[in-house]
Homo-oligomer: A and B are copies of this chain.
Amino acid sequence: MATHIWNSMKTKLTIIKVGGKIVEEEATLYKLLDDFAGIEGSKVLVHGGGRSATKMAAQLGIESKMVNGRRITDAETLKVVTMVYGGLVNKNIVAGLQARGVNAIGLTGADMNVILSDKRPVKDIDYGFVGDVKQVDGQRLASLLQTGIVPVMAPLTHDGKGHILNTNADTIAGQTAIGLSPYFDVTLIYCFEKKGVLRDEADDDSVIPAINRQQFAEWVRLGVIQGGMIPKLENAFQAIDAGVSQVIITAANAIDGHQGTIIR
């Protein structure tokens, strides 16, 4: 209860994470930018861009190698993702938000050292220039937000030794939400293809409205929640445990926070 009262005294902050598919097609991008511009109060947008990177790599004759859904980022691929995520996708979103009256700023983790990562250690697989988030400068981001600026974060961080590192956008969103939770009452919204966590994979309208850890364990035991949704929800509970007020899993066309599955 004490935490709840304290949170209610903090300013609300909404962090939206959208995947590459949404930001890479003009129609869905414009809809997203309109909806995002309409969100009241402080906000952050975290974007992916994997499809554009794959397309650009192909155009440059660079083969995209994926393992367990993660991109193997060799030196040439790192150039492609730095260009596509940090340049093309990020700056078009920033310009699009400026046109909608949102004073956006594009950031990678290297900018103002907001997200420092470790290059992922080589175990069974060498992922190459991929970052595991080590530290988010929540204070610096909070200062920026308090002057009315809206960060737009690309899925890139750095190692503090001069290297950009390709970094999972879900992780950036989750870690940024945690890093900002001492300063804000944070709602983190993960957008994906479905309307939320489904009770029945075959029925798009069978959205589970809310879920806690006990229910999660039970749904997993019963096989209702499975596959890629399990790590997504594990991340969500980790964010809640670390001070984020709520996490919502919903569709990109429903970022008002009133739909989807609420994780508390």
Interface residues of A in 37-63 (CB under 8 A from B): 56, 59-60
Q: Nearest residue in B to A165 (C-beta to C-beta)?
A: B95
| A residues neighboring B (CB under 8 Å) | 56, 59-60, 79, 82-88, 90-92, 94-96, 98-99, 103-108, 110-113, 143, 147, 149, 156, 158, 160-164
Can you list 26 A-B pairs, Cβ within 8 angstroms, ordered by A? Answer: A59-B60, A82-B87, A85-B87, A86-B86, A86-B90, A86-B91, A86-B106, A87-B90, A91-B156, A94-B111, A94-B158, A95-B158, A95-B162, A95-B163, A95-B164, A98-B113, A99-B160, A99-B161, A103-B112, A104-B111, A104-B112, A105-B107, A105-B111, A106-B108, A106-B111, A112-B149
CA distance A97 to B95 in the complex (A): 25
Q: Taking A95-B110, A105-B112 as given, write out 9 further A-B residue pairs in contact, using a Cβ cutoff of 8 Å, ordered by the A residue number.
A: A79-B88, A82-B87, A86-B88, A86-B106, A91-B164, A94-B108, A95-B163, A95-B164, A98-B113
CA distance A105 to B109 in the complex (A): 10
Give chain B nearest CB distance to A140 CB in angstroms. Answer: 9
- A105-B111, A111-B104 given as contacts; is B147 within 8 A of A98 (CB)? no
How many identical subunits does the complex contain? 2
Chain B residues near A103 (CB, 8 Å)? 112-113
Give chain B nearest CB distance to A219 CB in angstroms. Answer: 41
Select one of B87, B106, B158, B160 contacting A84, CB under 8 A: B87
Chain B residues near A164 (CB, 8 Å)? 91-92, 95
Q: Nearest residue in B to A148 (C-beta to C-beta)?
A: B112
CA distance A91 to B87 in the complex (A): 9
Chain B residues near A91 (CB, 8 Å)? 82, 86-87, 108, 110-111, 156, 164
Chain B residues near A143 (CB, 8 Å)? 147
Chain B residues near A84 (CB, 8 Å)? 83, 87
CA distance A143 to B87 in the complex (A): 24
CA distance A94 to B92 in the complex (A): 20
Are the C-beta atoms of A83 and B94 separated by less than 8 Å?
no
- A87-B85, A112-B149 given as contacts; is B60 within 8 A of A98 (CB)? no
Are the C-beta atoms of B88 and A82 separated by less than 8 Å?
yes
CA distance A88 to B53 in the complex (A): 13
Chain B residues near A92 (CB, 8 Å)? 82, 164
